[in-house]
């Protein structure tokens, strides 16, 4: 694995796994998985217009989360309902618009096509995302465990929620080039839910999630290189194996 791929693997997996902790604790796993598919029409338009796919993906995701945030408060719809509606529309538009030769890569990713400039961009944006998540970790945690506690401690609930959703959108946009729109949700969810099975506190869950995210990513990319398979799929397979092992460890710990 060359240096560019190594850096991208570390940054993307760490950012996704860190946010995945709050996704799992908020029981939004399905929402984050579906939300990753919303990036497809943005990527399609970016490819058609010859601009950076990340820009198109993040723009589509940001518009989606802004719409979800507004409608949830204005019309009292659940996030799951709104994401489901947006998901079906986004997938249809994306598949119609995206060039056929780019469809497989958009759905499953291709880390081997990331060049030095893209790797540097990903490293900078991903590192900034990790830093911001760490800075606002306490606010995210309070909003996750108790909205009343968050309000009582002076945490601006609406702004915190919007900031969190924007961070998730940014993490998804960064990772789509690597694992694609179909598998990015799993990259966020699997390390966090695996960590939850073996953790004893929020701090330990966060630590294990980030470490597992990096291990899953590096292991999957190495496996893909060794057996010449799609990297994104290999990453998720490694994650699935580790999740199964965590269930065994959890079962023994319960006994």
CATH number at residue 9: 1.10.3470.10
226 lies in some domain: no
Residue 229 falls within a domain, yes or no? no
Asked if residue 19 belongs to a domain, the reply is: yes
Residue 65 Cα to chain centre, angstroms: 14
Q: What is the pLDDT of residue 122?
A: 87
Enclosing domain of residue 102: 3-181
Q: Cα 106 to the chain's mean position, in Å? A: 15
According to the 3-state scheme, what is the secondary structure of the chain?
Answer: CCHHHHHHHHHHHHHHHHHHHHHHHCCCHHHHHHHHHCHHHHHHHHHHHCCCHHHHHHHHHHHHHHHHHHHHHHHCCCHHHHHHHHHHHHHHHHHHHCCHHHHHHHHHCCHHHCCHHHHHHHHHHHHHHHHHHHHCHHHHHHHHHCHHHHHHCCCCHHHHHHHHHHHHHHHHHHHHHHHHHHHHHHHHHHHHHHHHHHCCCHHHHHHHHHHHHHHHHHHHHHHHHHHCCCHHHHHHHHHHHHHHHHHHHHHHHHC
Q: Is residue 236, in this structure, part of any structural domain at all?
A: no
Residue 136 in any domain: the answer is: yes
- Give the total number of structural domains in the chain: 1
pLDDT per residue, tens digit, the chain (255 aa), is 677 778 888 899 999 999 999 999 988 777 777 777 788 888 888 888 888 888 888 998 888 888 777 776 776 666 666 666 676 777 777 777 777 666 677 777 777 677 788 888 888 999 999 999 999 898 888 877 765 555 555 556 677 888 888 999 899 888 887 777 777 888 899 999 999 999 999 999 999 999 999 999 889 888 888 888 877 788 889 999 999 999 998 887 765
Q: Is 207 domain-assigned?
A: no
Q: Are 138 and 205 in contact (CB under 8 A)?
A: no
Residue 227, pLDDT score: 86
Residue 159 lies in a domain: yes
- The answer to whether position 228 is within a domain reads no
């Amino acid at each position: 694995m060359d240096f560019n791929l190594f850096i991208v693997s570390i940054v993307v997996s760490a950012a996704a796994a860190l946010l995945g902790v709050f996704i799992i604790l908020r029981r939004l796993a399905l929402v984050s998985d579906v939300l990753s598919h919303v990036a497809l029409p943005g990527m399609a338009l970016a490819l058609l217009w010859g601009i950076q796919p990340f820009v198109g993906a993040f723009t589509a995701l940001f518009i989606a989360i802004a719409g979800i945030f507004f409608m949830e408060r204005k019309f009292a719809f659940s996030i799951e309902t709104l994401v489901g509606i947006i998901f079906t529309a986004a997938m249809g538009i994306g598949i119609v618009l995206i060039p056929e030769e780019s469809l497989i890569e958009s759905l499953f990713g291709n880390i081997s096509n990331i060049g030095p400039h893209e790797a540097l961009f990903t490293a900078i944006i991903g590192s900034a995302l990790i830093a911001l998540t760490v800075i606002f970790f306490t606010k995210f945690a309070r909003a996750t465990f108790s909205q009343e506690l968050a309000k009582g401690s002076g945490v601006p609930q609406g702004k915190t929620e919007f900031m969190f959703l924007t961070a998730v959108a940014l993490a998804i946009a960064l990772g789509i080039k690597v694992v694609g729109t179909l598998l990015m949700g799993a990259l966020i969810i699997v390390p966090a839910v695996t960590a939850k099975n073996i953790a004893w506190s929020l701090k330990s869950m966060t630590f294990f999630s980030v470490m597992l995210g990096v291990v899953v990513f590096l292991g999957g990319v190495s496996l893909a290189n060794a057996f010449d398979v799609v990297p994104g799929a290999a990453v998720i397979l490694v994650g699935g194996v580790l999740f199964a092992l965590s269930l065994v460890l959890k079962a023994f710990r319960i006994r």
